[in-house]
Amino acid sequence: MSDFVSNFWAMYVAVAVLVSILACVILLWISGTTKVNAAADNTTGHVWDGDLREMNNPLPKWWVYLFIITIVFAFVYGAMYPMFGTFKGQLGWTSAGQHAAEVKKMEDNIAPVYAEFAKKDAVALATDPKAMAIGERLFMNYCAQCHGSDARGSKGFPNLTDTDWLYGGTPEAIKETVTNGRNGVMPPMAAAVGTPEDVANLAQFVLSLSGSPHDAVKATLGKEKFGACAACHGADGKGNQALGAPNLTDGVWLHGWGADAIIKMVNEGKNNAMPGQSRLLNEAQIHVLASYVLSKSSKAGN
C-alpha cells in the first residue's frame, strides 16, 4: 500500500512527461541541423523498389512551426494545470473541484423544480404525476440495478411493490433507508439450534409459520428450537423492523423458499447490504425518490 501513498509515482509521471517534451525538442533540433550528403540530383542515395528514391528536402516550415507551437503549449499547459507530479499549477485546477462545481451548477438549475416538491409530504407527493415522473428517472438511475426496472426485486433484493418491509414502510423509514442504506446481518445459528437434525426440524417449523407445505411431525419437533431465532424474529415469527429481521409468517422469501434454503440460512447466515445514496443525491431528490418508492407499495396495498 505504500506505493499508493508516496510521491514516487507522481514524480515518475512528471519525469516521464518532461523527458518526452525535451525529447521532442532534441528531435526537432537534430532534424533541422543534421546535414546529409546528397547527390547532385538532391537524393540521399537510398532507393526502394527499384526506382523509389529518397529526396533530401528540408521539413516544411509550417510543420516545424506547428511542432514548436505544440512544445511551447505543453510547457504553458504544465505551468497552468497539474501536469508535473504534485505541482498544482497556477490555476489551482483539480478534477474534484471541477466535479464539485458541475454538481453545484446542476443543483442550482434543478433547485426551483424540487422546491415545489419540498412543500408536499411524501404521501401527497406520491400522487403528483410530475414528481413521480422525476422519481421514476431517479429510481432507474440509482435503484433499478438491484431492485429491477419494475421495482419487483429478485433473489436477495427486496420487492418494493408489495407491502412487506424489512425496516418499515413509512415515509420516514424509506427516507432513512435511501439516505443511509441498510446492513442486514443474520449470524449462523446452527450451533445455537443443535444438531443437523434439529436444524432440519426447525426449517419445517419455519415453513409452517407461513402456511407453506411442511412435515407436521418435524415442525412440532422444531418448534422448541425456534427459541434461538425468537430474539430477532419474535416469538410469533413476525419479525422485527427495528432490526430488519424478516417476518417469517407472510410467505415472502427474500433469499429463496424451501427447507434447503432455510437450512442453508441457519447454517451459514447472511449479510445483506444496501448502500446509502446521500453521497449521490441531495435531500430534495431523496424526498422525491422515497415518495416514488412509497407510491409503488401504495398501489399494492390498494
Q: Are 222 and 204 in contact (CB under 8 A)?
A: yes
Q: Given pLDDT bands bounded at 50, 70 and 90, which one contains residue 2?
A: low
Structural domain spans, the chain: 2-80, 102-184+275-301, 188-268
Q: Which fold has domain 188-268?
A: Cytochrome Bc1 Complex; Chain D, domain 2 (1.10.760)
Q: What is the pLDDT of residues 197-239, one digit of tens each?
A: 999 999 999 999 999 999 999 999 999 999 999 999 999 999 9
Q: What's residue 1's pLDDT?
A: 46
Single-letter code of the amino acid located at 10: A
Same fold, 102-184+275-301 and 188-268: yes
Cα gap 261→256, rounded to integer Å = 6
Q: What are the tens digits of pLDDT across the range 44-61? A: 778 888 888 888 777 888
pLDDT at 300 over 60: no
Task: For 181-210, give one letter per residue: b (16+ CB within 10 A) or e.
Answer: ebebebeebbeebeeeebbbbbbbbbbbbb
Q: 81-98, pLDDT tens digit by residue?
A: 998 888 889 999 999 999
Decide: 157 and 151 in contact? Cβ < 8 Å.
no
Query: 102-184+275-301 has which CATH code?
Result: 1.10.760.10
- Better pLDDT: 269 or 10: 269
| Block residue for cell numbers 428517472 | 137
Contact assessment for residue 239 and residue 147, using Cβ atoms and an 8 Å cutoff: no
Summarize the confidence of residues 6-11 as an average pLDDT.
Answer: 84
Question: How far is it, in rounded angstroms, from Cα 270 to Cα 244?
Answer: 12
